[in-house]
């Protein structure tokens, strides 16, 4: 029994020893050199190890056989596309592997060695597939296996063999159905099929055939000598050695996973991990950002907020006011500086806590009154500053009743005798304050007014700039009240007739609006028109006037009194996207007028601003049949260029040249030439502001017969105009 086991163990040791046979052990250190060209893309038959040496079943077998024949082998990876090409390269003494003798690419016959090992060739398919008979099979092979392909072709002439450069191309062709199966050495399959993404490929169970594994060279005397000598070495290779070498390589896990393999195998895991990680990073960043924002907010509050009352600190108030003025340049604001006159006495007599309560109460009351676009700050113990909309007397009254009075009576309401004395100074912001925002300067002004109250030994409030306050009040009263005024008849359309002096008859009228304000009384267009223009409200008024004029013209048309009127178009009426010409077209249609009955006056200065849009509007109005007039010509900076460029029908010449300051004689000369020039340009002309007979005669003598002015008629209510146009003279003229 023991002997038997000993013998068994000895065989095992021998087997292991054989497995470790490598160059040098068999070949000897000083053997003759033999350069062998081999492909290196056929793991485990031939491949490069980590050090770049050619290794594999084929390599070990060759080392063993060549060593037996007294050669020391040096392998060179072949660089040629096929073994057939490599045969023609003299750097290789021999090339391998070959199944049988073939002809080189250059047409050289070859001599091949004896068989080193019989290698099984197997078919691989995509899944378990029924294959057609071998003679009708379409197979895919690596191009570098051209030699094997030739052998296969002789064995199976009906087989279609397609060659591909790489294994991945082979697999692609298989998957696309371009071939039925792939053919390769079984040892190589044992390696290739370890690739995870090839897990769907199946080896067809029965080996298709075995192929010899030989070395070869061109049929030359030297080549033949090498082959002959090599064959002797091959003959010495035992079957056990062959098996040991094969087992050695086929039992190793040689396949190394690439990045794409890992992605294939763990794609979902990697994706999920990536998503989870990204989410975690995002959450972390968000949290950090939120923490930072909270921190910043905390710091900002510490700087910008008053800890006792929660209103803005001086710094915060300054910033907020700057922001609000920049964001709302059209809101009229005022700023107040408020102080409790007897605060020290309150603290001393009622205690600090009572003083703090009073401050908090004041803030609570004020905050209820403040809107989003207003601000309140505390600058010192009992000093509060407030920026608020100027909304007229009503707002001030509410401030007094809802804030100041309750604060004054705060302790009295608690049954104590202390009446709080408040001193307030108010500064009304001017347009300059919006252009150059200087909060400290505004507060200084408010503080000066507050001091005036304090120094006068009374309490209450005072304005630093009462005139500005009045202007602001008036602006508010006009702009805030416009819509109501238009509805309840405060705004009326008056007319100033225009005459032909030479003919002595009325030829039309200009519509001029008049406003009898419910609280301000009669206000002049010279006052309210610029305010409405600035507030962006003039269009509301003008649309009202245009419609009223059309209504009047319709009424007169129906009476058979054909009349025409001019209306004023403000430059602020013209805006991108607003179709003024379309609006006039609609009006004449609605009121059944002819376009010639309406003349549209655009002030001369308007042409110097936003010229492009204005010109477009003028062109469209004229195309629609309306007459366009250039108003106030001569009162601004008239330009000859404008006369050339602007396509108007009539010029309204402002008689400022005659009545204004300066040399009247020069004025006359200028007017004389202007009239001539305008007539030569083919435009009509009407003089406005004609105040006396001598002006009228002068104008007539210069060829300007159409006139408008106090010399003839002042602007009048519609009823008065009707008596003029209904007079028999007018009817005759018609």
**Torsion sign, CA atoms 38, 41, 46, 50:** positive
CA distance 252 to 246: 10
- Residue 708 near Mg ion by CB under 5 A: no
Contact yes or no for 77/48 (Cβ under 8 A): yes
Selected binder of Mg ion within 601, 604, 654, 706 (CB under 5 A): 601
Contact yes or no for 214/116 (Cβ under 8 A): yes
**Number of C-beta neighbours around residue 711 at 10 A:** 17
For residue 97, is the peptide bond before it cis, meaning its omega torsion is within 30 degrees of 0? yes
**Cβ partners under 8 Å of residue 370, min gap 6:** 376, 386, 388
Give whichever of 450 and 632 is closer to ligand C2E, judged by the CB atom: 632
- Residue 180 near Mg ion by CB under 5 A: no
Give whichever of 399 and 654 is closer to Mg ion, judged by the CB atom: 654
Residue 78 contact among ligand C2E, Mg ion, none, beta carbon within 5 to 8 Å by kind: none
CA distance 449 to 633: 46
CA distance 718 to 548: 11
CA distance 606 to 652: 14
Residue 545 contact among ligand C2E, Mg ion, none, beta carbon within 5 to 8 Å by kind: ligand C2E
**Where does this chain touch Mg ion (CB under 5 A) — which range of 194-202, 328-336, 496-504, 595-603?**
595-603
Give whichever of 433 and 542 is closer to ligand C2E, judged by the CB atom: 542
Give whichever of 160 and 533 is closer to ligand C2E, judged by the CB atom: 533
**Where does this chain touch Mg ion (CB under 5 A) — which range of 111-119, 354-362, 469-477, 562-570?**
562-570
Size of the site for Mg ion (CB under 5 A): 3
- Residue 627 near Mg ion by CB under 5 A: no
The pairing of beta strand 94-98 with beta strand 181-185: unpaired
Residue 399 contact among ligand C2E, Mg ion, none, beta carbon within 5 to 8 Å by kind: none
- Residue 542 near Mg ion by CB under 5 A: no
Q: Which residue has tokens 């490069």? A: 48
- Residue 629 near Mg ion by CB under 5 A: no
Q: In sequence order, which ranges of 591-714 are alpha helices (DSSP H)? A: 611-623, 640-645, 656-659, 664-680, 693-701
Residue 706 contact among Mg ion, ligand C2E, none, beta carbon within 5 to 8 Å by kind: none
Query: Of 713, 647, 720, 630, which is closest to residue 681 (Cα–Cα)?
Result: 647
**Where does this chain touch Mg ion (CB under 5 A) — which range of 51-59, 221-229, 584-592, 631-639?**
631-639
Residue 538 contact among ligand C2E, Mg ion, none, beta carbon within 5 to 8 Å by kind: ligand C2E
Residue 542 contact among Mg ion, ligand C2E, none, beta carbon within 5 to 8 Å by kind: ligand C2E
**Where does this chain touch Mg ion (CB under 5 A) — which range of 260-268, 336-344, 438-446, 594-602?**
594-602
CB of 526: closest distance to ligand C2E in angstroms?
5
Give whichever of 552 and 601 is closer to ligand C2E, judged by the CB atom: 601
Give whichever of 306 and 601 is closer to Mg ion, judged by the CB atom: 601
What would the x/- binding string for Mg ion be over residues 194 to 233, using CB under 5 A? ----------------------------------------
CA distance 95 to 36: 5
CA distance 477 to 475: 5
DSSP string covering 137-205:
-EEEEEGGGHHHHHHHHHH-TT-EEEEESSHHHHHHHHHTTS-SEEEEEHHHHHHHTTSGGGTTEEE-S
Give whichever of 379 and 474 is closer to ligand C2E, judged by the CB atom: 474
Give whichever of 451 and 514 is closer to ligand C2E, judged by the CB atom: 514
- Residue 126 near Mg ion by CB under 5 A: no
CA distance 264 to 198: 10
Give whichever of 601 and 706 is closer to Mg ion, judged by the CB atom: 601
CA distance 394 to 469: 14
CB of 529: closest distance to ligand C2E in angstroms?
5
- Residue 339 near Mg ion by CB under 5 A: no
CB of 685: closest distance to ligand C2E in angstroms?
15
Residue 180 contact among ligand C2E, Mg ion, none, beta carbon within 5 to 8 Å by kind: none
Q: Which residue has tokens 């150059």? A: 436
CA distance 167 to 192: 8
Q: Which residues bind ligand C2E (CB under 6 A)?
A: 496, 512-513, 524-526, 529, 538, 542, 545, 568, 570, 601, 631-632, 688-691, 709-710, 715
Query: Helix, strand, or coil here: 338?
Result: strand
Give whichever of 387 and 541 is closer to ligand C2E, judged by the CB atom: 541
Give whichever of 312 and 686 is closer to ligand C2E, judged by the CB atom: 686
CB of 700: closest distance to Mg ion in angstroms?
22
CA distance 401 to 396: 9
CB of 563: closest distance to Mg ion in angstroms?
17
Residue 689 contact among Mg ion, ligand C2E, none, beta carbon within 5 to 8 Å by kind: ligand C2E
Give whichever of 123 and 493 is closer to ligand C2E, judged by the CB atom: 493
Contact yes or no for 654/634 (Cβ under 8 A): yes
CB of 506: closest distance to ligand C2E in angstroms?
14
How many CA within 13 A on the CB side of residue 279? 6
- Residue 382 near Mg ion by CB under 5 A: no
Residue 632 contact among ligand C2E, Mg ion, none, beta carbon within 5 to 8 Å by kind: ligand C2E
Contact yes or no for 492/516 (Cβ under 8 A): yes
Residue 604 contact among Mg ion, ligand C2E, none, beta carbon within 5 to 8 Å by kind: none
CB of 609: closest distance to Mg ion in angstroms?
17
CB of 598: closest distance to Mg ion in angstroms?
13
**Number of C-beta neighbours around residue 471 at 10 A:** 15
Cα 491 off chain centre by: 47
Residue 334 contact among ligand C2E, Mg ion, none, beta carbon within 5 to 8 Å by kind: none
Which run of H or of E encompasses 407?
helix 405-408
CB of 357: closest distance to ligand C2E in angstroms?
56
The β-bridge partners of 598 are 565
Q: What share of the chain is helix, strand, coil (3-state, %, to 5)?
A: 50, 20, 30
Selected binder of Mg ion within 126, 631, 706, 722 (CB under 5 A): 631
502, two tokens: 């030479």
- Residue 568 near Mg ion by CB under 5 A: yes
CB of 326: closest distance to ligand C2E in angstroms?
30
Query: Of 506, 455, 405, which is closest to residue 734 (Cα–Cα)?
Result: 506
Give whichever of 358 and 574 is closer to ligand C2E, judged by the CB atom: 574
Cα 720 to Cα 85, 619, 715, 724, distances in angstroms: 117, 34, 10, 7
**Torsion sign, CA atoms 305, 311, 315, 316:** positive
* Nearest residue to the partner ligand C2E, using Cβ: 709
Give whichever of 573 and 631 is closer to Mg ion, judged by the CB atom: 631
Residue 460 dihedral angles phi and psi, to the nearest 5°: 120, -155
Give whichever of 161 and 567 is closer to ligand C2E, judged by the CB atom: 567
CB of 498: closest distance to Mg ion in angstroms?
11
Residue 38 dihedral angles phi and psi, to the nearest 5°: -135, 155
Q: Site residues (CB under 5 A) for Mg ion?
A: 568, 601, 631
């Amino acid at each position: 029994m023991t002997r038997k086991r000993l013998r068994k163990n000895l065989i095992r040791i021998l087997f292991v020893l054989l497995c470790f046979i490598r160059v040098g052990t068999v070949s000897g250190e000083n053997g003759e050199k033999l350069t062998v060209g081999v492909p290196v893309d056929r793991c485990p038959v031939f491949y490069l190890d980590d050090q770049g040496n050619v290794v594999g079943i084929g390599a070990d077998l060759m080392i063993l056989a060549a060593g037996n024949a007294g050669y020391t082998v040096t392998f060179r990876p072949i660089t040629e596309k096929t073994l057939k090409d490599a045969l023609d390269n003299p750097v290789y003494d021999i090339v391998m592997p070959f199944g049988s003798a073939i002809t080189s690419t250059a047409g050289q016959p070859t001599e091949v060695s004896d068989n080193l090992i019989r290698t099984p060739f197997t078919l691989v398919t995509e899944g378990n597939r029924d294959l057609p008979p071998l003679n009708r099979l379409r197979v895919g092979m690596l191009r570098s296996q051209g030699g094997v392909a030739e052998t296969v072709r002789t064995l199976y002439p009906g087989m279609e063999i397609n060659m591909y450069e790489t294994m991945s191309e082979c697999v692609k062709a298989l998957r696309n159905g371009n071939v039925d199966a792939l053919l390769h050495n079984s040892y190589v399959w044992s390696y290739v099929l370890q690739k995870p993404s090839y897990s769907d490929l199946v080896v067809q169970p029965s080996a298709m055939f075995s192929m010899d594994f030989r070395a070869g060279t061109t049929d030359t005397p030297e080549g033949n000598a090498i082959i002959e000598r090599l064959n002797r070495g091959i003959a010495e290779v035992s079957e056990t050695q062959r098996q040991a070498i094969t087992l050695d390589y086929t039992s190793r896990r040689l396949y190394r996973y690439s990045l794409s393999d890992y992605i294939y195998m763990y794609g979902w895991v990697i994706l999920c991990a990536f998503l989870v990680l990204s989410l975690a990073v995002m959450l972390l960043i968000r949290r950090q950002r939120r923490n930072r924002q909270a921190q910043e907010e905390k710091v900002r509050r510490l700087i910008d907020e008053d800890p006792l009352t929660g209103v803005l600190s001086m710094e915060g108030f300054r910033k907020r006011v700057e922001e609000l003025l920049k964001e709302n340049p059209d809101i009229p604001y005022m700023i107040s500086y408020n102080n409790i006159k007897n605060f020290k006495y309150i603290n001393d007599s009622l205690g600090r806590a009572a003083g703090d309560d009073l401050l908090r109460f004041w803030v609570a009351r004020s905050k209820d009154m403040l809107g989003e676009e207003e601000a309140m700050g505390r600058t010192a113990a009992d000093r509060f500053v407030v920026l608020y909309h100027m909304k007229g007397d009503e707002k001030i009254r509410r401030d007094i009743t809802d804030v100041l009075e309750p604060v004054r009576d705060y302790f009295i309401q608690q049954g104590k005798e202390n009446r709080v004395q408040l001193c307030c100074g108010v500064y009304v912001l001017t347009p300059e304050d919006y252009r150059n925002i200087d909060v400290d300067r505004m507060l200084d002004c408010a503080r000066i007014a507050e001091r005036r109250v304090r120094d006068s030994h009374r309490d209450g409030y005072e304005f630093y700039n009462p005139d500005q306050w009045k202007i602001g009040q008036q602006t508010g009263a006009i702009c805030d009240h416009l819509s109501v005024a238009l509805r309840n008849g405060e705004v009326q359309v008056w007319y100033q007739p225009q005459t032909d002096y030479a003919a002595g008859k009325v030829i039309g009228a200009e519509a001029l609006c008049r406003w009898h304000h419910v609280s301000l009384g009669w206000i002049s267009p010279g006052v309210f028109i610029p305010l409405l223009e600035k507030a962006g409200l003039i269009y509301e008024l003008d649309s009202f006037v245009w419609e009223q004029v059309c209504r009047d013209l319709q009424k007169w048309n129906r009476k058979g009194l054909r009349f025409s009127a001019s209306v004023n178009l403000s430059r602020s009426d013209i805006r991108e996207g607003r179709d003024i010409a379309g609006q006039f077209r609609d009006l004449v249609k609605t009121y059944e007028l002819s376009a010639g009955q309406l003349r549209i006056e655009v002030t001369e200065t308007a042409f110097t601003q936003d010229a492009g849009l204005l010109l477009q509007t003028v062109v469209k109005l004229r195309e629609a049949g309306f007459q366009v007039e250039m108003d106030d010509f001569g009162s601004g900076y008239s330009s000859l260029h404008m006369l050339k460029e602007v396509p108007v029908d009539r010029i309204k010449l402002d008689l400022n040249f005659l009545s204004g300051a300066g040399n009247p004689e020069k004025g006359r000369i200028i007017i004389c030439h202007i009239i001539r020039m305008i007539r030569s340009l083919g435009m009509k002309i009407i003089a406005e502001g004609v105040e006396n007979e001598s002006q009228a005669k002068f104008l007539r003598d210069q060829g300007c017969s159409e006139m408008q002015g106090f010399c003839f008629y002042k602007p009048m209510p519609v009823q008065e105009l009707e008596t003029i146009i209904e007079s028999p003279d007018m009817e005759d003229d018609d």
